[in-house]
Amino acid sequence: METIIDQDIVKMQALKKMKRNALALLGVAVLLFIIAIYFKIPMLQAFSEAAMVGGIADWFAVVALFRHPMGIPIWHTAIIPTKKNEIGENLGNFVSEEFLNREKLEIKLEEFNFATKASDWLSQGENADEIANLVSVNIIPGVLKTIKDEDIKRFIQVQFKEKLESINLGDWVAVALEPLQKGDLKNQMLTNLLEVMSSELTNNKDLIRQKVKSSTPFLSFGLADKSITEGIFNGLQDFLNEAKNPDSEVRLKIDEYIFNFLEKVKNSEEMRIKINNMILNFVGKKEIQDYINGIWHEIKLSITTDLEKEDNSSIKKSVAGFIQTFGNGLKEDQVMTDKINNFIKNDLLSVLLNNKKVIGDLISSTVKSWDGKEVSEKLELEIGKDLQYIRINGTLVGGFIGLIIYGVEWVYHYFAI
């Protein structure tokens, strides 16, 4: 794809070529004039004289639009740079009055049928891919670079804290624990918990021994700590094994404790407030805050990693698929098509018409803010090539008019004298 600079270079080369052609044609007219004088050819002299006058006059006219001819500040030359403000004012008024006209715009909008054309364009795979590529290559990375990580982390923390504070977690815990008072769910959960505790106790027997050893006197030579360890381990295992039996006294006491606790949670406002505060304090710990901060880092890393896959990016494929699906859906939904067209015709049109003076003033002020010389150079680059045909035509037409004048003069002298 050509860049703007490349396009300007091509235009500049084309402009210089046309200027050379126009100048070469004028040079031919000068050469013919010299030949006509030398060989005394009246008809050729008339042609070349008029061609030179026409070519030079049109050269002056074309150059006078953009700059002073030969750098001489002749009156009414360099029209574009010196009249830039007036041109901007007139252009703004012209656009606001002629283009932003309700009747004309309504006719054009009805003929254009924006919704149908948009749905047809979006439903094509290559167009959807182009938009998805724009989003994944430019928009998303640009947003990620613009957003400060600290601001996002702060936002997540504030939102998370506000949401937690707005929820009465104690009430939620009470509701969640209520099913434990009914059926076999409580017994099953308690049995599973005791099984896990028993298994962990067995797996950590060596750790218990080390802890006991570090707490017993050095002079016991390891005899006391071994017996203490065995006593503690066996006592805990016996307790857990007995608690697993639903009919045991230990299990009944545990059930009674759980029942009383659930009743307090369910019926005591003070207990629910304590639970709520305990959860909030837990969430405020550094470890939890670090985890919350890591959420944005993980999201950002996932997005960046996915976008680096380019054509295999899931995000890009999802965006392209969504756009194409939207285009196909819009094409089949006449109601939505009519709504979009009516919105553009009525609401958007009203916005344009209500602000047409602002639009005109914007155009005018924008043109006025441009540098006169730069505007002149830009316009010459865009239309200067075509204006060189005026010089070429002026040279040729001038020459033929010279021939006509010479012919009329010759006929007059031949028949009248």
> How far is residue 137's CA from residue 131's CA, in Å, rounded to a whole number?
10
User: Between these two residues, 271 and 84, which has the higher pLDDT value?
Assistant: 84
pLDDT of 178 > 50? The answer is: yes
Q: Residues of the chain with pLDDT > 90: what percent?
A: 20
DSSP character for 273? H
CB neighbour burial string for 192-224, b if at least 16 within 10 angstroms, e if fewer: eebeebbeebeeeeeebbeebbeebeeeeeeee
Residue 3 has φ and ψ, to the nearest 5°, of -85, 170
pLDDT tier for residue 185 given thresholds of 50, 70 and 90: low
**AA letter at 42:** P
pLDDT tier for residue 181 given thresholds of 50, 70 and 90: low
Report pLDDT for 219. Answer: 41
pTM value surpassing 0.85: no
Within 13 Å, how many C-alpha atoms sit on residue 336's CB side? 11
Q: What are the tens digits of pLDDT across the range 242-279?
A: 777 777 777 777 777 777 777 776 676 777 677 677 76
Calculate ∠ Cα 268-182-174, nearest 5°.
30
Angle between helices 334-342 and 114-122 (to 10 degrees): 120
Q: What are the tens digits of pLDDT across the range 190-200?
A: 777 777 777 87
Give the residue from 405, 309, 392, 401 showing the smallest Cα distance to 21. Answer: 392
> How far is residue 347's CA from residue 109's CA, in Å, rounded to a whole number?
12
User: Between these two residues, 169 and 406, which has the higher pLDDT value?
Assistant: 406
Chain-centre distance for alpha carbon 391? 47
The residues spanned by each domain of the chain are 4-82+370-416, 154-297
> How far is residue 137's CA from residue 383's CA, in Å, rounded to a whole number?
35
Q: What is the mean pLDDT of the chain?
A: 81
> How far is residue 188's CA from residue 56's CA, in Å, rounded to a whole number?
106
Report pLDDT for 55. Answer: 95
Q: What are the tens digits of pLDDT across the range 203-230?
A: 777 776 676 666 655 544 455 566 666 7
Instruction: Kindly give, in sequence order, each residue whose CB lies less than 8 Å from that of residue 61, ignoring residues fewer than 6 positions away.
Output: 390
